[in-house]
Chain A
Amino acid sequence: MTLLNVTDLRGGYAAADEIVKGATLRVDPGEIVALIGPNGAGKSTLLKLIAGLLRPRGGQVRLRDRDIAGLDAPAISRLGLAFVPQERNVFGAMTVGENLEMGGYLDAAHLRQRRDELFERFPMLAEKRRAAARTLSGGQRQILAMAIALMNAPGLLLLDEPTAGLSPRAAEDLFSTIVALNRSGVAILMVEQNALEALEVSTRAYVLVQGRAEREGQAAELASDTTIRDLFLGGKAQPMLAGNAGGPS
């Protein structure tokens, strides 16, 4: 059974400003799916529409065959879908331990057990459990952001540019963490600017252009596609993507 099924989804930040214009994609259990595309294609907006941070103006979002389009973010979170925003994804003034506690706010009964599991999985968080989140490095903060999302034991994790602003080494470490998470049974839908690296760790991928998924395929297949390589490895822009620079991503 498909875990997430998005059909003809439309929406944006304002009524007159439709950024996602009929996106269709799916995520199967156990997959890492990358969502790549030029700036302004609507990748982050699409994740926010799926996660319930923005209200869709049309289309369907089904999570394990349940229609979740229009539900608010906490309700969707309760159903097992967690979203990690690109920015401001931790509570900076609170300690690492308190951040995890807030991550498990909806499920107080299993809070301690989940937190201990995450401390075991990410020993760095256990070491820094009393440190304020704002004192963590960029990579550590991203791991904390993912751990906050994992406190609700989600089946599907949406990651919005997890390696943005990280050093190449920290980004590499984070991709390894994402793969390890996936192997533990969490499906992942990930927006990434580091397209090649994202394709390397993904099962499948979509190329989003002007708010629509224009290409879909196995990640390895897309990584070897000359058009994609040209676009994301510094080559010339192809007609498919021309004129899409700028605007919200």
Chain B
Amino acid sequence: MMSLVQALVNGLVSGTLLAVPAIGFSAMFAVLRFPNFSVSGIATLGAFAGYVAYGAGLELVGSLIAAFAVAGVVGLFFDRVAHLPLVKQGALPAAIASIASGLVLENVIRLGFGNDLRGFDRPIARDMHIGDIRVSPQQLETMGIALAIMLAVFAALAFTRIGKAMRASADNPELAALKGIRPQRVTMIASFVGMGLVGIGGMLLGLDSSIDPLTGTRILLSIFAAAVLGGLGSPMGAVLGAFLIGIAEELSVLTVGSPYRAAVGFFAILIVLTLRPRGLLGERAF
């Protein structure tokens, strides 16, 4: 029983961290209209940018800002140069190009940093115990950061002029353009912010474990599954999907063993596409 509760707690922690890049992925899908699989490379890039910044002496928040900025700028560059020109031909060519971009980024990072695992040099802290449940203070800290970022993103989407314009553009691009919301501007902001969130997600996951050039590739399926489960294009759905995937992955370790953990994402996508192709929250773009 205790191991089940521990698995649920672990699932909540990993779901929270997964939610940040999943929001980015889903928001980009809503505006850019293609699944941007380069998030694998961008998550890794964000993790390494944060690692370098942290190593150079920046505090955690400063390093997260560095991860956001580097991932946002590079992600925007790849979108402008390699993906968006192909969207006119359909979502598939752009999605395939984004897989290639992810591979390019992964290998550039491998070239610069090698294949070794690297960890953020954070102070060691004793785990907290609530009964038999264990949580590390660092996990709580990264969870808190992730929740604060999510809150900021949803507040921006709900209350700011540009956030509402992004939602309008995702909902009905033709009408949004008719009302004077410039599609190109919204696309650029969605790409920069979405990729920035993916970069932050990569760093948060790195803080929770370690990083290497495959950091993003390992979480790509979970990010995609979370977005599909919640409803592609719905940031709120992405959060719900991320929690469900995080918990399901941890429970799978208990039931079928850790080698099959990666299968959870595939299974979730299969179930959703069969039973509810629009995802749990469907067309609710917010």
Contacts and interface: CB of A to CB of B under 8 A. Distances in A.
Interface of A: 51, 53, 73-74, 77-78, 83, 85, 88-94, 98, 101-103, 105-106, 108, 134, 148
Given A93-B283, A93-B285, A102-B165, A88 B172 contact: yes
Main secondary structure, interface of A, reads: helix
Given A88-B175, A89-B175, A108-B161, A94 B167 contact: yes
Interface in B259-284: 283-284
B179 interface: yes
Given A101-B164, A102-B168, A93 B284 contact: yes
Nearest to A111: B161
A102 B174 contact: no
29 contacts: A51-B178, A73-B178, A74-B177, A74-B178, A77-B179, A78-B180, A83-B178, A85-B175, A88-B174, A88-B175, A91-B171, A91-B175, A92-B283, A93-B171, A93-B283, A94-B167, A94-B168, A94-B171, A98-B167, A98-B168, A101-B164, A102-B164, A102-B165, A102-B176, A103-B179, A105-B165, A105-B179, A106-B179, A134-B283
Interface in B40-95: none
Interface centre among B168, B174, B285, B286 (most CB of A within 10 A): B168
Most chain A beta-carbon neighbours within 10 Å: one of B167, B174, B175: B175
A148 B178 CA distance: 11
Nearest to A88: B172
Most buried by B among A78, A88, A102, A108: A102
Contacts of B167: 91, 93-94, 98
A80 B177 CA distance: 16
Given A91-B168, A93-B167, A148 B283 contact: no
A102 B284 contact: no
B8 interface: no
Contacts of B171: 91-94
A148 B179 contact: yes
Contacts of B175: 85, 88-91, 148
B167 to A, nearest CB: 6
Interface string B140-178: 000000000000000000000100110110011011111
Contacts of B135: none
Contacts of B179: 74, 77, 102-103, 105-106, 148
Contact of A77 (B172, B180, B283): B180
Nearest to A73: B178
A226 B180 CA distance: 44
A105 B178 contact: no
A93 to B, nearest CB: 4
Contacts of B182: 74
A106 B180 contact: yes
Q: List the 6 shortest-distance A-B pairs measured between CB atoms, nearest first.
A: A74-B180, A106-B180, A93-B285, A91-B171, A102-B168, A93-B171
A98 B178 contact: no
A148 B180 CA distance: 12
A247 B168 CA distance: 30
Contacts of B180: 74, 77-78, 105-106
A53 B183 CA distance: 14
A90 B172 contact: yes
A85 B171 CA distance: 15
Contacts of B174: 53, 85, 88
Given A91-B172, A92-B171, A92-B172, 19 more contacts: A77-B178, A77-B180, A85-B174, A85-B175, A85-B178, A91-B167, A92-B283, A93-B167, A93-B285, A93-B286, A102-B176, A102-B181, A105-B161, A105-B179, A105-B180, A105-B181, A106-B179, A134-B283, A148-B179
Contacts of A94: 164, 167-168, 171, 286
Contacts of A98: 164, 167-168
A191 B183 CA distance: 28
A26 to B, nearest CB: 23
Contacts of B286: 93-94
Nearest to A75: B180
Contacts of B172: 88, 90-92
Contacts of B283: 92-93, 134
A123 to B, nearest CB: 24
Nearest to A107: B180
A73 B181 contact: no
